[in-house]
Amino acid sequence: MRLAHGAPFAAHAERLRKASIPALLAADAVRARDWSARLGPLSFHYARQRLDRAALAALVDLARRVDVPGAFRRLVDGAIVNLSESRAALHTALRSDLGRGSQVEAARAEVRATRRRMRELRAALVESPVTDVVSVGIGGSDLGPRLVVDALSAHRDPRFRVHFLSNVDGHAAARLLAELDPARSAAVLVSKTFGTQETLLNGRLLADWLGDPRRLHAVSANPGRAVDFGVPAAQVLPMWDWVGGRYSLWSAVGLSIALALGDVHFDALLAGAAELDAHVLDAPPDSNLPTLHALLAVWNRRALGLPTSAVLPYDQRLALLPSYLQQLLMESLGKSVRANGAPVDGPTSPVVWGGVGTDVQHSFFQMLHQGTDLVPCEFIGVMRPDHGHVDNHRALLANLLAQSEALANGADADDPARRYPGGRPSTLLLLDALTPRALGLLLAFYEHSCYAQSVLLGINAFDQWGVELGKRVAGTLLPALEDPAAGEVLADPVTRALLLEFRNRR
């Protein structure tokens, strides 16, 4: 494998490709203790990865040579890290005072002013008859806030119920609106561009259903479009080009979070992320949690060639974490060219997938234990639950521990069908409790790991040109669904045939 600065890892990978994880642990008496790190309520345990100290040292050395620490500094100081769009990616300025220079100061001033407007808007809604707020958005304008609101439901402020509407499929809107009363509802249309088809269609549907523009709000980097749409200008909150959609839950995009949880908990979420921001700037690569996480991800994907990676929260409240991470990681890292436009020289993003334990033990864990592909697993556990069902929680933790052990160690049997090969790498992330602070820290941990991976791979984590073609083609096809003549001129023979089929079956 060759990485951003051409470091050769083939020898380490060759030596370790078939290594037994129990043997690696047996050969290193203090590995289980040493290969873990902690920051506040979050600890990270990686002793069950398929590498040894020599390979880990080489990885840490790579992080130094590629200058991951300098890359974090440049990110936080607002350097142009998104080269294809000539943009900074200043999500850290949404929650931390760590950036230097006039550009970051100006950004921070805008962030503070926007937070004030978010509080005012919330206060105005509290005074109104509104009980239900629908957040309309998709991708980065949906997944982060949806995850946070769901995960922190124990901290919910009873004044509002917050709902999310993303899919253009009208069933989603129909189901949601059937539960709500337009006279007691408000909507927040969240779209950085205010040009996303799904959000505009669902936004129009909501605006018509509400029948009163005074209960429409928007968050956008294109406020003019939101006003043209019919949102009162005083109710349009800003977003900025220097925040990527999938890194934006800390901005006014998180208005739904502030409404659902209250300002105090929203502030705690930001404070948790800020702790992680300080950590990435301070800690050297060998004790920097996101850097270590990124190095292991790149090791599994590039050096060991493992094509997928599973995210397995053992906590129902984190059921949406895999979807959130799919966008964060695959939209950021699913690239075939380097930041300078040259082709990459190896794999980039794994396919990220997963689901919540223990449910998934009874669905895809068969494949994890005995399938032909090795899947590195990331287990996420929470020590103290928000409920009093002690036996359930004990069973949950026992399963979490058991799965990671069984995947690594395997078990022999005479009958090949009953044999467990083991050797399946995993990491464990443990939170003391699922508080707003801890969740902020966890999500910022993933953001920074993702960025560090992009630096190691030499790719741009902050653009997503890959999603544009499909949108363009859908735009061209839309008229053909109404007008058969428009379909006949389409170039693609399969699409032409399918359109005919659509027409015959409607």
Q: Which is nearer to ligand F6P, 135 or 404 (CB)?
A: 135
Q: CA angle 191-150-88, nearest 5°?
A: 40
> Which segment (105-113, 133-141, 372-380, 478-486) binds ligand F6P by CB under 6 A?
133-141
Q: Is 18 a catalytic residue?
A: no
Distances (CA, A) of 48 to 19, 58, 308: 12, 18, 17
Q: Which is nearer to ligand F6P, 332 or 426 (CB)?
A: 332
- What are the contacts of 113-116 at 24+ separation with CB within 8 A? 114/237, 114/238, 114/251, 114/252
Shortest spacing between CB 410 and ligand F6P, in angstroms: 40
DSSP code, position 342:
S
Q: Does 82 bind ligand F6P (CB under 6 A)?
A: no
Q: How far is CA 372 from the centre of its chain?
A: 28
Q: Is 120 a catalytic residue?
A: no
Q: Does 140 bind ligand F6P (CB under 6 A)?
A: yes
Q: Work out which of 37, 133, 138, 260 binds ligand F6P, going by CB under 6 A.
A: 138
Please tell me the distance from the alpha carbon of residue 67 to that of residue 65, in angstroms, as a whole number.
5
Residue 495: cis peptide before it, omega within 30 degrees of 0: no
- Report the residue count for the chain: 506
> Which segment (86-94, 95-103, 138-146, 364-372) binds ligand F6P by CB under 6 A?
138-146
User: Given 5, 389, 471, 488, which residue is catalytic?
Assistant: 471
DSSP labels, 83-114: GGGTB---GGGGT-S---SHHHHHHHHHHHHH
Q: Work out which of 43, 103, 193, 399 binds ligand F6P, going by CB under 6 A.
A: 193
> Which segment (190-198, 292-300, 359-367, 383-391) binds ligand F6P by CB under 6 A?
190-198
Q: Which is nearer to ligand F6P, 20 or 193 (CB)?
A: 193
Q: Which stretches within 152-262 are classed as H helix?
A: 170-178, 197-210, 223-229, 255-261
Please tell me the distance from the alpha carbon of residue 174 to that of residue 62, in angstroms, as a whole number.
52
Q: Which is nearer to ligand F6P, 349 or 426 (CB)?
A: 349
Q: Does 464 bind ligand F6P (CB under 6 A)?
A: yes
> Which segment (51-59, 64-72, 115-123, 188-196) binds ligand F6P by CB under 6 A?
188-196
**264, burial (CB in 10 Å: exposed 0-12, middle 13-18, buried 19+):** exposed
Shortest spacing between CB 143 and ligand F6P, in angstroms: 8
Q: How far is CA 341 from the centre of its chain?
A: 25
- Is residue 194 within 8 A of residue 220, CB to CB? The reply is yes
Please tell me the distance from the alpha carbon of residue 234 to that of residue 227, in angstroms, as a whole number.
9
User: Given 331, 369, 447, 448, which residue is catalytic?
Assistant: 331
Q: Work out which of 141, 166, 326, 427 binds ligand F6P, going by CB under 6 A.
A: 141
Shortest spacing between CB 89 and ligand F6P, in angstroms: 12
Q: Which is nearer to ligand F6P, 199 or 426 (CB)?
A: 199
- Site map 311..340 versus ligand F6P, x via CB under 6 A: --------------------x---------
DSSP code, position 460:
-
DSSP labels, 145-162: HHHHHHHTGGG--TT-EE
Shortest spacing between CB 148 and ligand F6P, in angstroms: 15
Shortest spacing between CB 147 and ligand F6P, in angstroms: 14
* Binding to ligand F6P, residues 224-253 (CB under 6 A): 245-246
Q: How many residues bind ligand F6P (CB under 6 A)?
A: 14
Q: Which is nearer to ligand F6P, 124 or 474 (CB)?
A: 474
Q: Is 362 a catalytic residue?
A: yes
Residue 83 CB: number of other CB atoms within 10 A? 14
Shortest spacing between CB 198 and ligand F6P, in angstroms: 8
Q: Which is nearer to ligand F6P, 82 or 435 (CB)?
A: 82
Q: Which is nearer to ligand F6P, 165 or 281 (CB)?
A: 165
> Which segment (185-193, 254-262, 410-418, 430-438) binds ligand F6P by CB under 6 A?
185-193
φ/ψ region of 136 (left if φ > 0, alpha if ψ in -120 to 50, else beta) reads: beta
Q: Work out which of 31, 48, 146, 192 binds ligand F6P, going by CB under 6 A.
A: 192
> Which segment (54-62, 193-201, 307-315, 455-463) binds ligand F6P by CB under 6 A?
193-201
> Which segment (137-145, 227-235, 314-322, 392-400) binds ligand F6P by CB under 6 A?
137-145
Q: Does 196 bind ligand F6P (CB under 6 A)?
A: yes
Shortest spacing between CB 450 and ligand F6P, in angstroms: 13
H or E element, residue 281? helix 263-282
Shortest spacing between CB 398 and ligand F6P, in angstroms: 38
DSSP labels, 307-322: -EEEEEEESGGGTTHH
Q: Does 256 bind ligand F6P (CB under 6 A)?
A: no
Start-to-end Cα distance in the chain? 52
Q: CA angle 405-411-412, nearest 5°?
A: 170
Please tell me the distance from the alpha carbon of residue 369 to that of residue 404, in angstroms, as a whole number.
10
Q: Which residues bind ligand F6P (CB under 6 A)?
A: 138-141, 191-193, 196, 199, 245-246, 331, 464, 467
Where in the sequence numbering do the catalytic residues fall? 331, 362, 471
